[in-house]
Amino acid sequence: MSVTAPESPVTAHDLETFGEEVLTAFLLEQGADEPLAQDDPRRVLASIAVTGGWSGHVTLDVSRNGADVLARRMLLADEVTEEDVVDAIGELVNVLGGNVKGLLLEESALGLPQVVTLPEAGARPDRVEVCHAELLWAGHPVNVRVWLDEQDHATAGDNS
Amino acid sequence: MKILIADDSRVMRQIVIRTLRQAGYDGHDLVEAGNGAEALAMVGSESPDLVLSDWNMPEMTGIELLRALRSADHQVPFGFVTSEGTPEMRELASSAGALFLLAKPFTPDALRDHLEGVVA
């Protein structure tokens, strides 16, 4: 499911397009899809800030099992460490964030990725979601969201 | 030929190395740096023939690295491999002395197109 708020500088279709490019370039489509681990509720959440004329965040969240699979695909490794998983998911949100930033008309800067593992799906942040796409990488659902920071939200009016 | 790859992501450094091989650049000596400051030191110690650098890194960004090199009159060929490929970034990169800016995600063909004429 993909959703875009009205007047968003970025659309769900944009996120899906970026997702396809990442899928191909980073070999995430290589190999058979791996089964979802239904008994592991942990999620890996990555976030990167875009600041400037338009300020917001791009986030990516995927199951812990899915994050492991993606890291293994990116490294072409049979096993990966926790550090590798954090690195890989951070790099994925970095690439998505950079591409989102490229769509903005206003001058802006990209932050460094932040990655955390949550015991389960977390509460939604107190921000305005401007678009959302659910991608499918290596058989695992990956939720990518673009959020508008509160300051810009107050300036732009309520688009939710 | 020796190529220095600077990126704070080990995963991305491995992807760059893999893509270089897929693009036909096997047989070159590849060295890695985890941030701009480390890369600056390694340009001095390793004398690479080409630097491929991320833009956004802790300690020292890629653009700070390039400016430091050029300020020291170091003319090593330099290219950016970064998630940010806006016209403004490309202009900034070019003005600072970079030969190219390759945006992530990139394919072996795109990498080869950018390295043609730079790497034998």
Interface check for A22 against chain B (CB to CB < 8 A): the answer is yes
Judging contacts by C-beta atoms under 8 Å, the chain A residues touching residue B86 are 101-102
Residue A152 has pLDDT above 60, yes or no: no
Confidence of residue B118 (pLDDT cuts 50, 70, 90): confident
CB atoms within 10 A of CB B88: 11
- The answer to whether the CB atoms of B104 and A95 lie below 8 A apart is yes
What value does the mean pLDDT take over residues B101-114?
93
pLDDT tens-digit map of A28-38? 777 666 766 66
Residue B60 has pLDDT above 90, yes or no: yes
pLDDT tens-digit map of B4-53? 999 999 999 999 999 999 999 988 999 999 999 999 999 999 999 999 99
Residue type, A113: P
Measured CA to CA, the distance from residue A157 to residue A128 in angstroms comes to: 11
Q: Smallest Cβ distance to B11: which of A84, A98, A110?
A: A84
Measured CA to CA, the distance from residue A23 to residue A27 in angstroms comes to: 6
Mutate to test the interface with B, among A95, A106, A135, A137 (most CBs of B within 10 A): A95
B106/chain A closest Cα distance in angstroms: 6
Strands, E, within A12-138: which ranges?
Answer: 43-52, 56-63, 108-110, 114-118, 128-137
Confidence of residue A159 (pLDDT cuts 50, 70, 90): very low
- The answer to whether the CB atoms of B9 and A95 lie below 8 A apart is no
Query: Which of the 8 DSSP states describes residue A26?
Result: T
Interface check for A97 against chain B (CB to CB < 8 A): the answer is yes
What value does the mean pLDDT take over residues A68-96?
95
pLDDT tens-digit map of B64-103? 999 999 999 999 999 999 998 889 999 999 999 999 999 9
pLDDT tens-digit map of A38-62? 678 899 999 999 998 888 999 999 9
Strands A140-148 and A128-137: antiparallel
Residue A156 has pLDDT above 50, yes or no: no
- The answer to whether the CB atoms of B105 and A24 lie below 8 A apart is yes
Confidence of residue A160 (pLDDT cuts 50, 70, 90): very low
- The answer to whether the CB atoms of B105 and A26 lie below 8 A apart is yes
Residue A100 has pLDDT above 90, yes or no: yes
Q: Output the pLDDT for position A6.
A: 54
